[in-house]
Each structure stands twice: as C-alpha cells, then as structure tokens.
Amino acid sequence: MKHSRLTNTRTRLSFTRLLVNSFTYLFTMHLAASAQTDSLPHYLKIAAENNPGVKAGFLTYQAALQKIPQAGALQDPQLDVGFFLQPMEIIDGKQVADIKLMQMFPWFGTKKAARTEAQHMAQMTFEQFRETRDKLFLDVYTQWFTLCRLQQQLVNSLENKKLLVHLEELALRKFTAGNAAPAPSGEKQKAKSEGSSTAANNNMSGMNMNIPPSPSAISPSPQMSSMPQMPQGNMSGMSGVLQIRLEIAEIDNNMENIRSEIQAGKAKFNALLNRPAESDVQVPDTLKQIPFLLDISEAKTLIAARNPMLGMISEEESAYRAKAEMDRKMSYPMFGIGLQYMLVNKKPANPAADDGMGGMSNTAAMNAMNGRDMIMPMLSITVPVYRSKYRAQQRENAFLQQASREKYMDTQNMLEAELHRTKHQLDAAARQIALYRKQTELAQTTFNLMIREFASGTNDLSNVIQVQRQLLDYELKTAEAVADYNTMVANIQKLMSKRVDE
C-alpha cells in the first residue's frame, strides 16, 4: 500500500512537471516577444516560432499528450444482439431475440499504471522537443557569431585600408619632394666632373705622354646628354608607392570575399529562421566577448538536472517501470459485468388446459408468465492460467530498465567529457584573445612609430608595410578567437539547457 501511494505521488509529480515545462516554454516565448527588433533574442524568438523542426517536435509532444486519456480509458462494452428468424417456443412464450451487454474491468490500478506510462512517454517526447529546440538555438548562436566575426573582420579591413591610403599619400609626398630636389646637386656634380676632367687633361699634356684619352674623358653625345638621369632614391620612392597600391588591391579583394561570405552566412541564418534567403539581418560592427565564468562542479549538477538527453532517458526508465506495474496487474483476473435481455412474445391461450372445476391447472398457472421478457444479470471473470508469458513480460521490463540506467550513465559520462573538452577549448580561446589583443596593441604602437620614422626618412617603407600586415592579421585573428570563444560559451550553455543571456 505504501508503495502504491509512492507510485501515485511520483505519477502526479511527473505530470505536474510536464505541465510546468509546457507553461515555462510558452512563458519564455512570451518574454522573447518583447525583445528588441533585429537583436539576437528577437532572432531566437523567430527561430523558435518558425523553424519547421521545432514545430514538428512540439506537435509530436502535443500528440503524445493525447495518449494519456486513451491509456486511462476502459475497453468498449461488448453488445451481442441475436434475432430468431422463427420465434423459438419456450414454456412461457416464444423467444424472438437475445441481447447481451458486457463491460470488462481490469484489475484494480491497471489503468492508473497505463496512464502513468503514457505520461512518462509524453514527457520523454517533450525532452526530445527540448533537445531539438536547444540544438536550434546553438545553431543560431553559432551562425550569429560567425556573421559578427565576418562583420568585424570587414571593419578591420576597412580601417587598415584607410591606414594604407594615408601611407600612400605620405609616400607620394616624399616622392614628389624627392623628384624636385636633385636638380641643384646634379648640376654641382656635373661641374665637379668637368673640373676634374680639365685638370687631368692639363697634367697629361704636360707630361707629353701619347696615351689615348679615357672613355670618361670623352664628352657625351647630344643624345646621351638629353636623357634624364633619375636619382636612385626617387626610383625607390615610386616602387614603394606601387607596393602600397598592391597591398590596397589585396585588401579590396579580401573585403569582397568577406562580403560574399557574409551574404552566404545570412542565407544560412535565414534558413534557420525559416525566412527567405534574401531577408535582411542586422549584425553589429563590433564583436564583443561574452563575460562567462564556469564552475565545473556546478555545471555538472545543472547538466544532470536540466539536460534534455538525460531527462529523456530518465523518463524512458520511468515509463518502463510503469509498464512493468501495468503488466503485473494485467496478469491478474479481469472482471466483466453485464446484462442479458430476452425478448419473448406471448403464446396463444389453450382452453383445454381448464380442469372443469372452476380453477386453473398447473399449466394454466404457468401461463401467467406468458410473453414476459426476461432480464438476467451476468458476471464474467478471466482466468490467467498461462503464466509464462507474464513472467517473460516482467523479465523484459527489468532488462529494459537496466538498459535505460546504463544508457543514462553512458550519456552522462559523454556529456561530462564534452564539458571538459569544451572548457579546454574555451580556455584556449581566452588565451588566444589575450595574446592577439596584446600583439595588436604592440603592432599598432610600432606602426605609428614607423610612420613617423618613415616621414622623417629614418625608416624604410617595406618595414612599415610589414608591420601593417601583422596588425591586420592580429585583428582578424582576434575577431576569429572571440567568435570561437562565444561559440564555446553557447555550447556549454546548451549542455546545461540554458540560453547564453540567462
């Protein structure tokens, strides 16, 4: 009796939790409705409402709820009606028809156990729906952070393009200034060379040596003297400008690739929301790292309490336990209560039955029941003689319950291993973010110093471009590391069946 009350209490608690979970989901959807348009909570609301997979899971859960009243209902009563083609003569009339109505009742508590099993099966379907919904939310988070990463990388590329354009203007100014300065120094060098040549000729004539003049002493031809002589420094300045333009062209190409990838990512994001691929998606220009602190012991507790996969297996075991109870009571006798109604017509009276003494004979007395319909209550009992099948059912349920317990432990171990693996990736992403931000800061400082040195002529342009490449690379890697970090946070929250903003 105590075990029966405990089972009933668990059944009521399970059904109550089933209703609470349903209302919790609907309440969450109502709160999400107030989210700001084109924000991540707004997109999560649209995904939960429109995604066909989530809608199919919720409809399956609603269908499973309809099995509860079916499991608790009694069998339909059995009605047998028989008519005689020719009325059958009986002692007190002629029987025309025979009507039987029978209702079977299982052993006490059998239907309650059946309802309990149906409730646990419905709850298991609800846990499957939660798993589908959580997986959808994780996909939305992942794609959202991917779009944010691409948008951040596009912004970084635009900023670096502005730096290169500024550097190009600076290099052009240096090249223009260097192009105008060499004229006086060229004339001075020409005069110096003419003076040296004259002095050499005088010395040679004084020595009366018949030595042919050197090629350097020969005056240049008019065609050679008319060719411009570009200083080496000016050639270096022009090649630097062209190199900067090559860098700008490469950044432009990378930005076009990023824009194309953003369009493809938005199409995938809209597919999760069950919207047209060309629907607009507003993505922030800045990707921020989600503040998150992870306590492993607390996370394991939340996984055991809230993870839908564990909840589904737990409800499966409870359903097998209720089925075992139902099968045990099905091995007891079933009772049937019914009525039999016989429709009887009257027989014609027989005058010869009078004894001539003014009274009625026994036959005449019996004819007083002539034509009266008969009603007979009935009781039916099934006798479960063949016990082997019932014992086999109990062993089957015991094996299934043990299998569910082993499956629960295996799934819990897998989820805890996934938690530790994701935490390792989360810590690695956090270290990468710190490293790339420090490198970005140092590269930005170095780039600013090199710009000043290049403007003053104490540094080479190739060094400036090299540092600029490193700066852009660190910024792109920082955005990628932040996106990975946020995705790992969403994955851990999914294991605990929580949303990132909770």
Say if CB 378 and CB 338 are below 8 A apart.
yes
Is position 501 within any domain? no
Q: Are residues 17 and 52 in the same domain?
A: yes
**CB-based contact 138:145 (threshold 8 Å):** no
* 342 & 475 share domain: no
Q: How many domains does the chain have?
A: 2
Output phi, psi for 294, to 5 deg: -115, 125
Same domain? For 342 and 482 the reply is no
460 belongs to a structural domain: yes
> Do 327 and 407 contact (CB within 8 A), yes or no?
no
Domain check: are 43 and 143 in the same one? Answer: yes
> In terms of residue numbers, what domain contains 424?
2-73+113-175+260-331+387-495
Q: How many CB atoms lie within 10 A of CB 452?
A: 10
- Cβ(472)–Cβ(160) under 8 Å? yes
Helices (H) and strands (E) in the chain — how many of each? 13, 4
User: What is the C-alpha to C-alpha distance for residues 224 and 402, in angstroms, rounded to an integer?
Assistant: 101
Dihedral (Cα; 22, 25, 29, 30), 10-degree rounding: 60
Positions of E strands within 335-470: 335-345, 374-381
The pTM score is 0.75
pLDDT of residue 367: 65
Instruction: Examine residue 252 and state whether it is found in any structural domain, yes or no.
Output: no
Token pair in block for residue 102: 């029978």
| Residue 239 domain flag | no
Backbone Cα Rg of the chain: 48
Asked if the structure places residue 167 within a domain, the reply is yes
Please indicate, yes or no, whether residues 345 and 472 belong to a single structural domain of this protein: no
- Domain assignment present for 56: yes
| 435 and 404 belong to one structural domain | yes
Check whether residue 34 and residue 80 sit in a common domain.
Answer: no
* pLDDT of 178: 64
Taking alpha carbons only, the member of 163, 235, 157 closest to residue 465 is 163
Token code pair at residue 349: 């009276």
Residues 370 and 491 in one domain: no
Question: Are 291 and 403 found together in one domain?
Answer: yes
Q: Are residues 290 and 372 in the same domain?
A: no
Nearest partner of 433 among 481, 475, 489, 480, judged by Cα? 481
CA angle 83/86/87 to nearest 5° reads 75
User: Mean pLDDT in runs of 10 for the chain (502 residues)?
Assistant: 44 45 42 57 93 96 96 92 85 86 94 96 96 96 96 95 91 75 46 43 40 37 36 55 91 96 96 94 92 93 96 96 95 94 80 51 61 89 92 96 97 97 96 96 94 85 91 95 96 89 61
Residues 6+ apart with CB under 8 A from 364: 353, 354
CA 335-338-340 angle, 5° bins: 145
Question: What residues pair up with 90 in beta bridges, in sequence order?
Answer: 93
Residues 296, 377, single domain; the answer is no
CB 103 within 8 A of CB 77: yes
State phi, psi for 354 to the nearest 5 degrees: -75, 135
Tell me the CATH number at 284.
Answer: 1.20.1600.10
Residues 101 and 134 in one domain: no
Residue 186 lies in a domain: no
Calpha distance 193→457 (Å, rounded): 29
Tokens of 27: 């309440």
User: What does the DSSP assignment read for 55-88?
Assistant: HHHHHHHHHHHTHHHHHHSPPPPEEEEEEEEEEE
d(CA 296, CA 304): 12
Inside any domain, residue 224:
no
434, 477 Cβ separation under 8 angstroms: no
Local structure of 435: helix, strand or coil: helix
**Residues 182-198 as b or e (16 or more Cβ within 10 Å = b):** beeeeeeeeeeeeeebe
Alpha-carbon span 161 to 251, nearest angstrom = 7
Nearest Cα to Cα of residue 239 among 468, 473, 460: 460
